[in-house]
Structure 1
Amino acid sequence: MQASSRVVTSNQSGLHPRLARTVLRHLHHPHRSPLAAHNQTVWEELRPLLQADPRPLVLDSFCGTGMSTALLAQRHPGHLVIGIDRSAHRLHKHIASPGANYLLLQAECEPLWQQLAGAGLRVDYHYLLYPNPWPKSRHLQRRVHGHPGFRDLLALGGRVELRSNWQLYVEEFGVAMYLAGVRGRVRQLPEAPALTRFEDKYRRSRQLLWQYRGRIGYSERPDTRS
């Protein structure tokens, strides 16, 4: 039986009219909200692990069930791969392989980006695979590129890859990265084995999938000292 998955629908037909204004405001005026207790607990547990592990970092933000985290750990065997998702329900579905060489953390992504960047840490690769698109126009600031945490994502550096089944979301992300001085590419995702359950479901529903890839260089990182 062919899987069925709904296509993203939105009251927004093109790039959000406040996209540039919102991105530039966040780049020039960093937002520092208090760290929620559950995120603080995760950070306090993670920090000594990072200090003891010299391997370069791979982040798998919004990792869902952790399927992508396990696959990315195979792709990057010399890295410490960390999957982050806020949902205990999704993470509890994860089945770890024997000798699994990665971490799964239950936390919000943006506060952890803030802590990692504030600690001077950088990543080699940052994957954002099918984050909630928040398709209603009024929810721009809940999208990755409209959130104040976008500045911390940039500060973490590395090669960034975002995937979505909503083309406009990926295009907006690409524009936001361009405004931040990062050059990248938006394209239709080539056929390949799925990295996530969502990706597999969307493929089997014959939806078009979209990808952004870019590399944040040292000279492109925003000044986080202000």
Structure 2
Amino acid sequence: MSDANSRSIVSNQAGIHEKLDEIVKKHLEAEFKKPIAAHTQAAFDEVNAKVQAFSGPLILDSCCGVGESSANLAKRHPDALVIGIDKSSHRLDKHDVEYKQTDSGQYILVQADLNDFWRLAVAANWQPSHHYLLYPNPWPKSKHIRRRWHGAAIFPFIVKLGGALEVRSNWDIYVKEFARALELTGNPCDVTLYESDDAITPFERKYWASGQQSHRLIVNLADC
């Protein structure tokens, strides 16, 4: 499929999910007890050693796919260490490096389950200046609301990580739901259209080439 033929989101949802508030409130009040997977613990320990030794800003690029966004974010923030995380080794293997440091920034790509990685990052007191969630899987079917990050049990840990959180999607309902979930944590924010001359992820490039729009929220969670 060419970039100009990327399909638009098809969903049986016409607006914010009717059970979103109930689901988010339940997760905010519950304790997430799922055991940490050994492979993610090992991956985190390796990355954490580099993070603890680094004195500059820390940026998270969650669901980084092939890592193009991580490389672009590193160029935009040359004084920072960018950590790109994705669960798929197949996607990450398309990138030519695991760790790269150049005059235009430095970044690390790591294969890990974010349900575990985010909890470990909170426990290790990571304090990212920015946290990017760029075009995560939208799970557009209504019955899959709990698979979306804002409808998942891990959502409170996204908030606990703090920093300037930026979410982008080509499905406006996804970002509007995320904004509503954040509002329930006391962090209201606006959803706006996002346009730029430069796409920083493969999905962003495909969506724009096919005439689709990007929707975005940015919220400062530094005080959470």
Which is worse superposed, 164-173 or 40-49? 40-49
Letter in 2 for 1:10: S
Kept in 2: contact 1:183–1:215 (CA 8 A) = no
Residue 186 of structure 2 is matched in structure 1 by 181
The gaps in structure 2 that reach 5 residues or longer are none
What amino acid is aligned across from residue 139 of structure 1 in structure 2?
A: H
Out of 207, 220, 224, the position equivalent to 1:215 is 220
CA RMSD of the aligned region, Å? 1.5
- Cα drift, residue 209 of structure 1: 1.3
Q: 1:125 to 1:207 in 2, by over 3 A?
A: same
Q: How does 1:145-160 map to 2 (within 5 A)?
A: 145-160=150-165
The answer as to whether partners of 1:59 and 1:123 remain within 8 angstroms in 2 is: yes
Counterpart in the other structure of 2:31: 30
Equivalent residue, structure 2, for 1:83:
84
The alignment status of 1:40 with 2:41, answered yes or no, reads yes
Provide the C-alpha distance between the structure 1 equivalents of 2:118 and 2:125, rounded to a whole number of angstroms.
11
Runs of at least 4 residues of structure 1 off by over 3 A? 95-98
Q: Take 2:113 and 2:197, find their aligned partners in 1: how far apart are those partners? A: 29
* Amino acid in the other structure paired with 1:52: A
Take 2:27 and 2:112, find their aligned partners in 1: how far apart are those partners?
22
Q: In structure 1, what is the equivalent of residue 13 of structure 2?
A: 12
Question: What's the CA shift string for 1:184-209, capped at 9, x where partnerless?
Answer: 22011123300100000000000121
SS in 2 for 1:123: coil
Q: Which runs of 5+ in 1 are unaligned?
A: 222-226
Work out whether residues 3 and 207 of structure 2, in 8 Å CA contact, stay in contact via their aligned partners in 1: no
Say if 2:117 is the partner of 1:112.
yes
Q: Once the two structures are aligned, what percentage of the paired residues are identical?
A: 43
* TM-score normalized by the length of structure 2: 0.93
What is the aligned partner in structure 2 of residue 138 from structure 1?
143
How far residue 98 of structure 1 moved from its aligned partner, in angstroms, is 7.0
Classify the secondary structure of the residue corresponding to 1:170: helix
TM value normalised by structure 1: 0.92
